[in-house]
Amino acid sequence: MRTMVSAAPTRPDNEIGHYFDPSSGCQVIVARPAEHPQLWTDYLDGARASYRGHGVEDVLDYDRVVDGRSTALFFAAVSQQGQVVGGMRAQGPYLMSNQAQALEEWAGRRGSRQLRREIAMRIPAGIVEMKTGWVADDVARRSELTAALARFFIHALTLLRARYAMCTVAAHAVNRWQSTGGVVSTKVAPVAYPDERYRTRLMLWDKQTYPQLAAAEQLPLLMVEAAQLVGSQAAPPILSPLAA
């Protein structure tokens, strides 16, 4: 890992913004892949190692995402030792429902038509898809960092100026993402993806309702991080590569 975090309060030219999460002890950097290529590489390499360790490396679809073109922005959690120990990326806001990668997980199976409708109806207000979330297995304060990842959904909505976020989640991970107001869709049937070991669900976030649904301990952290993000920003509005 070669990425080092600057302690300067101003935003470096290759960042969208950054903030410090004292609960996990990590600095979170938000960037576009093309503008922070080494951080992007470190983030994807960590994701690939994590997914491989859990036997689901194919889900990453590394060859398709490595060029960064489908990613509007990504979050990288950097430890005090300067290592990327977790992160997540965002696609969108979408202009058409068929841009959503989630459709491939339901392709040809029950729930695919409803999934397409759920996405299409949210496009006018803006919908982003969160992908490739991971946390290193051996990182200190792993549960706190996982909770920090759940907050990425809300920060992505603000940065990409969208009302809705979506992701596909294995059933065992649903509780983690519900902590910031994520809701499991009751209209889209779960699917066995990537294989029969998993039941993957569609989850949705709504910028207008998440404060009423989020866990009480997440809300003040979201506010503090959002303030840091605003303070670190000195960039024009973000334009998604999928909306440009």
CATH of the domain at 100: 3.40.630.30
Q: Does 4 reside within a domain?
A: no
Residue 91 lies in a domain: yes
Residue 181 domain flag: yes
Helix (H) or strand (E) segment spanning residue 159:
helix 142-160
Does 239 fall in a domain?
no
Quick one: pLDDT band at residue 10, thresholds 50, 70, 90? low
What is d(CA 153, CA 73) in angstroms, rounded to the nearest whole number? 12
Contact status, residue 92 vs residue 127, Cβ threshold 8 Å: yes
Burial of 96 per CB tally in 10 Å (0-12, 13-18, 19+): exposed
pLDDT bracket for residue 232 (50, 70, 90): confident
Residue 96 domain flag: yes
Residue 120 has pLDDT above 50, yes or no: yes
Mean pLDDT of the chain: 90
CA 69, distance to chain mean position in Å, is 16
What integer is the mean pLDDT of 32-40? 96
Q: Give the count of domains, the chain.
A: 1
Q: Which domain covers residue 25, as residue numbers?
A: 17-232
Any domain includes 183: yes
Residue (of 23, 48, 220) closest to 140 by Cα position: 23
* Tens of pLDDT, residues 56-100: 888 888 999 999 999 999 999 999 999 999 999 999 999 999 999
Two structure tokens written together for 207: 């910028």
Measure CA of the first residue to CA of the last residue in the chain; give whole Å. Answer: 32
Q: Count how many Cα atoms sit within 13 Å of the Cα of residue 191 in the half-sphere of its side chain.
A: 23
Q: Is the preceding omega at residue 194 within 30 degrees of 0, hence cis?
A: yes
Q: Which of 111, 126, 91, 121 is nearest to 200 (CA)?
A: 111
Sign of the alpha-carbon dihedral angle for 33, 38, 44, 50: negative
Give mean pLDDT, residues 173-178: 92
Given pLDDT bands bounded at 50, 70 and 90, which one contains residue 243?
A: very low
Q: Render 40-60 in DSSP notation, one character per residue.
A: HHHHHHHHHHHHHHTT-HHHH
pLDDT of residue 7: 39
For residue 242, give every residue at least 6 positions away whose Cβ sits within 8 Å of its Cβ, in sequence order, or none: 70, 72, 91, 92, 93, 94, 95, 99
